Amino acid sequence: MNSKYEVIIGLEVHVQLKTRTKLFCACPAEFGGQPNTNICPICSGLPGVLPTMNQHAVDLAIKAGLALNCQISEKSSFARKHYFYPDLPKGYQITQYKEPLAINGFVEIDGLKISIRRIHLEEDSGKSIHSPTESLIDFNRCGVPLIEIVTEPEIRSPDQAVKYLQTLRQIMRYLDVSDCEMEKAHFRCEPNISLRPIGQKQFGVRTELKNLNSLNSVHQALEFEINRQSKILDTGGVIVQETLFWDEQNRVAGTMRGKEESEDYRYFPEPDLPVLVLNRENIDNIKNTLPLLPWQRKKILKEKYNLSENIVNIILETKEFADYFVETIKLCDDAKLVANWLVTEVKAVLNDKSISINEFNIIPKELANLLNLLRAQKITGTVAKEIFTDMVLTNKTATEIVNEKGLFLSNDDSLLIKSIDEVLTENADIVAKYKSGKTSVISFLIGAVLQKTHGKLTPQKIKDKILEKL
Ligand SMILES: [Zn+2]
């Protein structure tokens, strides 16, 4: 990227709200289903039907607005945004235009505040499915509730854009406002981007990118567009204001349509919906039920438990994982030990099986039991890991496995002495090496005793006894 220019990025993100039904009718809002089965006269745009507001969608939008530090408008209104497209049967989309539900918020990323200009409620369109020979339309998604979250053009790099999106998605998931699965189009991002010579105040001409299906695509498409625009500016060319379509496969952006201004949409107030009036009490109720957000939890984990930034970030990745941690430390009073086990052993199983913590078969209570055995020095660390693997495979509890296999640490000195005597006799050559001054070989002897006693003795105890014997 050419360092002569400053990169200016603004992001519009569509988040699908987690409601059971659509925004203006009682059809199911769920993803999937046979095409054109979750529809009715209202969402398929038949003439003369009336939309009715889904209160749950309004509440979720308020929740999102509050968590993003916005002012919630006690009065907001709906408008019709007109455009012709086969997957928009009414010929217009009901959205909020002049009076959005929430304004003037911010999201903090790495100590930097990214301003949120507005959040508004709107309905989704249907979906077109194109093949080389035909185009199909599925109206199931028509009328599914969305919020659009618009930032000020304050983002300065593709990395920052991705970080903002990750943070936003994490907050939406903590709130349970949306599942935010990009592959199901619950979370869609449309960046606009322009360059300006460093030092210049006036913004350059911007382009908009569409069809970004993953955070990876967002990053790649932004890099592509920064390069394209800086090459044009370098040769004295002019950037054309347009909407670009990201071609995932070939990693290039192509023109989708030309300059678009709001006048093109012929917005006018939606005559079938009253002004949306929110009562203060309801807003305050929602405020009081907001869960602890990732940044609030981060502060607690770092200050109260003295955990490292890296470990805290992994624990907070999802609310469910963070909750699992909290449940476990209620029963095992060693936050560092629990945190280490979660980010290594537990995480490895989740990754290996491609499952979430909700699908993990060991409940917090059972993990706490296992770790408590370790803390009480009833088992060794190596044995704890073996038991953990068994628990994952067999669904048995730690106590059951320990009892069945006789894995408790032994206080039986005769076992210790007998095993050491055997190992020393079997490894006379190693013993000779040790005696000639090569003291590092002792770890081999400890290992041999550990193996013989199947983890029933701690390495330290074995080492002390071997040193005594030698
Ligand atoms: Zn419907």
pLDDT in tens, the chain (470 residues): 447 999 999 999 999 999 999 999 999 998 888 999 999 999 998 998 999 999 999 999 999 999 999 999 999 999 999 999 999 999 999 999 999 999 999 999 988 999 999 999 999 999 999 889 999 999 999 999 999 999 999 999 999 999 999 999 999 999 999 999 888 889 999 999 999 999 999 999 999 999 898 999 999 999 999 999 999 999 999 999 999 999 888 888 888 777 777 778 889 999 999 999 999 999 999 999 999 999 999 999 999 999 999 999 999 999 999 999 999 999 999 999 999 999 999 999 999 999 999 999 999 999 999 999 999 888 888 889 999 999 999 999 998 988 887 766 666 677 777 888 888 888 888 888 888 888 888 888 888 888 877 767 777 778 888 888 77
Q: Are residues 237 and 313 in the same domain?
A: no
CA of 101 to the centre of ligand 1 (A): 23
Q: Which domain holds residue 135?
A: 5-286
Q: Output the six-digit token pair for 363.
A: 């409940």
Q: Are residues 46 and 172 in the same domain?
A: yes
CA of 40 to the centre of ligand 1 (A): 4
CA of 50 to the centre of ligand 1 (A): 11
Exposed, middle or buried by CB within 10 Å (0-12, 13-18, 19+), for 228?
middle
Of 240, 259, 286, which marks where a domain is finished? Answer: 286
CA of 27 to the centre of ligand 1 (A): 4
Phi, psi of 32 (to 5 degrees): 85, -155
CB 58, CB 169: distance < 8 Å: no
User: Within 13 Å and on the Cβ side, how many CA atoms surround 216?
Assistant: 5
Closest by Cα among 138, 134, 49, 135 to 88: 138
CA of 44 to the centre of ligand 1 (A): 7
CA of 83 to the centre of ligand 1 (A): 20
Count up the domains in the chain and report the number.
Answer: 3
Q: Output the six-digit token pair for 306.
A: 């003295």
CATH of the domain at 447: 1.10.10
Q: Are residues 256 and 300 in the same domain?
A: no
CA of 196 to the centre of ligand 1 (A): 46
Closest by Cα among 90, 204, 201, 66 to 142: 90
Q: Are residues 392 and 436 in the same domain?
A: no
Q: Are residues 272 and 383 in the same domain?
A: no
Q: Are residues 304 and 344 in the same domain?
A: yes
pLDDT computed for residue 412 by the predictor:
67
- Is the pTM for the entire model greater than 0.85? no
Q: Are residues 315 and 454 in the same domain?
A: no
pLDDT computed for residue 407 by the predictor:
67
CA of 141 to the centre of ligand 1 (A): 10
CA of 118 to the centre of ligand 1 (A): 27
Strand segments (E) across 26-111: 71-72, 75-76, 79-82, 92-95, 102-109
Q: Are residues 224 and 308 in the same domain?
A: no
CA of 45 to the centre of ligand 1 (A): 9
pLDDT computed for residue 389 by the predictor:
94
Q: Which helix (H) or strand (E) holds 402?
A: helix 398-405
Q: Are residues 57 and 137 in the same domain?
A: yes
CA of 334 to the centre of ligand 1 (A): 52
Q: Give the integer Cα–Cα distance in Å for 124 and 145.
A: 6
Residue with tokens 């002495």: 417
Of 405, 428, 461, which marks where a domain is finished? Answer: 405
Number of other CB atoms surrounding residue 5 within 10 Å: 19
CB 140, CB 35: distance < 8 Å: yes
CA of 38 to the centre of ligand 1 (A): 7
CB 180, CB 172: distance < 8 Å: yes
What is Dmax (Cα atoms) for the chain?
99
Number of other CB atoms surrounding residue 225 within 10 Å: 26
User: Which contacts qualify for 39-44: CB closer than 8 Å, 24 or more apart?
Assistant: 39/139, 39/140, 39/142, 42/143, 43/123, 43/139, 43/142, 43/143, 44/89, 44/139, 44/142
